[in-house]
Structure 1
Amino acid sequence: MLRVAVAGASGYAGGEVLRWLLQHPEVEIGSVTAGGNAGALLGSVHPHLFSLGDRVLAETTPETLSGHDVVVLALPHGHSAAVAEGLDEETVIVDCGADFRLRSETDWTTFYDTPYAGSWAYGLPELALAGGGRARTDIEGRHRVAVPGCYPTAVSLALAPGLAAGVVEPDDVVVVAASGTSGAGKSLKPHLLGSEVIGSMSPYGVGGVHRHTPEIEQNLGAAAGVPVAASFTPTLAPMARGILATATARVAPGASTADIREAWRASYAEEPFVHLLEPGAWPATAHVVGSNHVTVQVTVDERVGRVIAVAAIDNLAKGTAGAAVQCLNLAVGLPETTGLLGSGVAP
């Protein structure tokens, strides 16, 4: 059994990590820690985690987290590096924050306000890479893994197959995506109050300023083999969980509709968590809620010569905690799907 600690366990991401670990047959949950909620019972912040309700949240320190086989960090952006520095090099650390996702220091300092901490193995196993292969090969056996952001997960899985296969052009990518309110975390914010969100949708981070923009471009560039510039507009939807990402790009010269369909089919044919839907069926967030699964669809707007690719994920599952467990499995040598094959919840 792997002894796993979770830092930042009182937030949405940390609570979701614990929910998945409770279903994992090879895991024993060790220390659970928090910041401002240290000293409180876990059940007071996550009443749905019944079997862990009487656990006391400890302070997040390297001393508390040491001695575990795996540590999952679910901390605010900019806080993971200091904690990771205090842990043994042989400890597997899976970071759900943004601290180690970006390979470019310039991208980090442009979009974040803390010092650049470097980059770790990037934890999106299914990401198709230019020249063949998948990103999972860089995760297997690694002791430091950065879990992708939720928006980059959905957008990358929607569009990467076409870029890797060369059937879409890399120089005119446009993305609009809607997220549930849990993507903003558990801290109280006036614009996330029920009375503000219910019955309304709104954009935010408009004009290329959202922090996930460089990560989206990094992933799509890895798929295309050349730099990709993406216009990304996120929107807030009146739901607790889920992301629906719609990405469009120009069809590459000579690529047929059949070529495009085949690129996506071939890319995901052997992937256990990414499902290309039958023609005419479209992704919906309700179909993946509570699961580590992703639904994808692709079509061509022949009138304007553009590919439209759509993906749906649960932002707290495949977009964060489910991905963390998937990376944990790969890092320690377990089957990738261990503890993750459960279906979504419907209705």
Structure 2
Amino acid sequence: MRTPIRAIVVGASGYSGAELVALLCAHPCVELAGVFGSSSRAMEPARPLGDAVPALRGICDLELRPWEAARAAALEPEVVFLATPHEFSHEVAPELLRDAGGRCTVIDLSAAFRLKDAALYPRHYGFAHEHPDLLAAAVYGLPELDREPIASADLIAAPGCYPTGALLAIAPIIRAGLVSNAGPIVIDATSGVSGAGRALKQEMLFCEVGQRPYAVFSHRHQPEIRQGVAASSGKGIGLPPIVFTPHVGPYPRGILSTIHLTVAQQVRADDIAGAYREAFEREVFVRLRRSGDWPSVNDVVHTNFCDIAWAVDESIGHLIVVSAIDNLVKGAAGQALQCMNIRFGLPETAGLLPAASRAEGARL
């Protein structure tokens, strides 16, 4: 058996970073060597991580330190997870890759290296991308759709939470050529409040938050979804437009996506069922539900599962697909860990399946 994989987490006090720390501490093949803050906490002194994230007391006793590249390098990590703001990852990931000289894999949970077109970053993320070479080299880490490149990647861009739920739901039928471009792909998705991050926002306070749409026609995940749809189809033109409306819901975590598509003429329910079976029947973390058994966020929170169900009205050629994920696990930390498992030749489920029993226990 190989020695434990030495890992560090940057941005460990945020929601996704803290989730990742908890998963790594329970992983049978990982040694968590260090935890660091992100740029927004760079001036704070070192303190126990449990002081910043009380839920991690007794789980991780490491000190949370301001980011220092030299200190991180001295820990000799084999994998660095960046659960950090986009601009921070954009600056730090190239330095880590350069200084490590191929001895370290970077798994970035931000959007800094997800989009292949650098021109999209000023509009959607507010900064000019200065590393188009790394955009080209980065591997998009959605294992169920394309896991082979992950196994040899130096830089893995973990997908966004909304794109994860949407692309797992629609990629199989797009790949099978079952979708018509006669109508748009309409994605209505609702995320729990943790999707907005841990920073204080008045509209996310307990007495303020309610279910509402936001960033209509302008959410930064729309180009990522579009990119994934194009990759699934194998073409960049002739695709139906994407209409994506995100919502925030008054619950802590989970994303429920309801997706409407127009199917091609003569497509039947058996064709759709076959496409999903072909895509996912061997996938541990995608659960295809029976007809009429619709997904719920309650069934996936604290797990790395994506639950999917669908229904089609053949008379009008209209397909509805519903998916549910935990935005902090399959939509962030769990998926990043799944990519690490693939990258280091471990069982894909290592450190991930026990979460299901924890979720069940929390519900009882």
TM-score range, shorter chain: over 0.9
Partner of 2:212: 202
Displacement of 1:73 after TM fit? 0.4
Do structure 1's residue 85 and structure 2's residue 94 form an aligned pair? yes
The answer to which of 140-149 and 218-227 deviates more is: 218-227
What is the distance in 2 between the residues matched to 1:174 and 1:255?
19
Do structure 1's residue 126 and structure 2's residue 144 form an aligned pair? yes
Displacement of 1:84 after TM fit? 1.6
Task: Indicate which of 8, 15, 20 corresponds to 2:18.
Answer: 15
Task: Indicate which of 225, 244, 248 corresponds to 1:232.
Answer: 244
Question: Per the alignment, do residues 220 and 280 of structure 1 end up closer, same or farther by CA in structure 2, a change over 3 Å counting?
Answer: same
Alignment of 1:314-329 (within 5 A): 314-329=326-341
Partner of 2:320: 308
**Deviation digits for residues 286-324 of structure 1, max 9, x if unmatched?**
001100011001110335321111110000000000001
Question: Per the alignment, do residues 230 and 86 of structure 1 end up closer, same or farther by CA in structure 2, a change over 3 Å counting?
Answer: same
Displacement of 1:86 after TM fit? 2.2
Identity of aligned residues (%): 40
Question: Per the alignment, do residues 169 and 38 of structure 1 end up closer, same or farther by CA in structure 2, a change over 3 Å counting?
Answer: farther
Do structure 1's residue 141 and structure 2's residue 152 form an aligned pair? yes
What is the distance in 2 between the residues matched to 1:137 and 1:54?
35
**Deviation digits for residues 59-89 of structure 1, max 9, x if unmatched?**
1122122211110000011111221222213
Partner of 2:197: 185
Structure 1 SS opposite 2:169: helix
Superposition CA RMSD, Å: 1.4
Q: 4+ runs of 1 displaced by more than 6 Å?
A: none
Do structure 1's residue 47 and structure 2's residue 54 form an aligned pair? yes
Partner of 1:253: 265
Alignment of 1:211-230 (within 5 A): 211-227=220-236, 228=239, 229-230=241-242
Task: Indicate which of 287, 307, 313 corresponds to 1:295.
Answer: 307
**Deviation digits for residues 45-72 of structure 1, max 9, x if unmatched?**
2111123454221111221222111100
Structure 2 SS opposite 1:271: coil
Do structure 1's residue 114 and structure 2's residue 119 form an aligned pair? no
Partner of 1:131: none
What is the distance in 2 between the residues matched to 1:328 and 1:246?
29
8 Å contact from structure 2 (residues 22, 59) kept in 1: no
What is the distance in 1 between the residues matched to 2:287 and 2:140?
21
8 Å contact from structure 1 (residues 261, 299) kept in 2: no
Q: Which runs of 5+ in 2 are unaligned?
A: none
The amino acid across from 2:260 in the alignment is T
Structure 2 SS opposite 1:195: coil
Structure 2 SS opposite 1:249: strand
Partner of 1:2: 5
What is the distance in 1 between the residues matched to 2:191 and 2:212?
10
Structure 1 SS opposite 2:54: coil
8 Å contact from structure 2 (residues 25, 60) kept in 1: no
What is the distance in 1 between the residues matched to 2:185 and 2:119?
21
Structure 1 SS opposite 2:86: coil
What is the distance in 2 between the residues matched to 1:15 and 1:47?
10
The amino acid across from 2:86 in the alignment is H
Do structure 1's residue 150 and structure 2's residue 157 form an aligned pair? no
**Deviation digits for residues 105-155 of structure 1, max 9, x if unmatched?**
22223211112133210000112xxxxxxx111111211100000000000
Do structure 1's residue 280 and structure 2's residue 278 form an aligned pair? no
Structure 1 SS opposite 2:352: coil
Alignment TM-score, normalising by the size of structure 2: 0.89
Structure 2 SS opposite 1:48: helix
Compare the two structures and name the one with the higher helix fraction. 2
Q: How many residues align?
A: 337
Task: Indicate which of 75, 78, 85 corresponds to 1:69.
Answer: 78
**Deviation digits for residues 157-190 of structure 1, max 9, x if unmatched?**
1111110001122562110000000011100011
Alignment TM-score, normalising by the size of structure 1: 0.94
Structure 2 SS opposite 1:30: strand
Do structure 1's residue 30 and structure 2's residue 36 form an aligned pair? no
Q: Which runs of 5+ in 1 are unaligned?
A: 128-134
Displacement of 1:38 after TM fit? 4.6
The answer to which of 248-257 and 182-191 deviates more is: 248-257
The answer to which of 217-226 and 38-47 deviates more is: 38-47
The amino acid across from 2:54 in the alignment is P
8 Å contact from structure 1 (residues 46, 53) kept in 2: no
Displacement of 1:40 after TM fit? 2.6
The answer to which of 70-79 and 53-62 deviates more is: 53-62
**Deviation digits for residues 7-57 of structure 1, max 9, x if unmatched?**
011111110000110121000001100141552321112111123454221
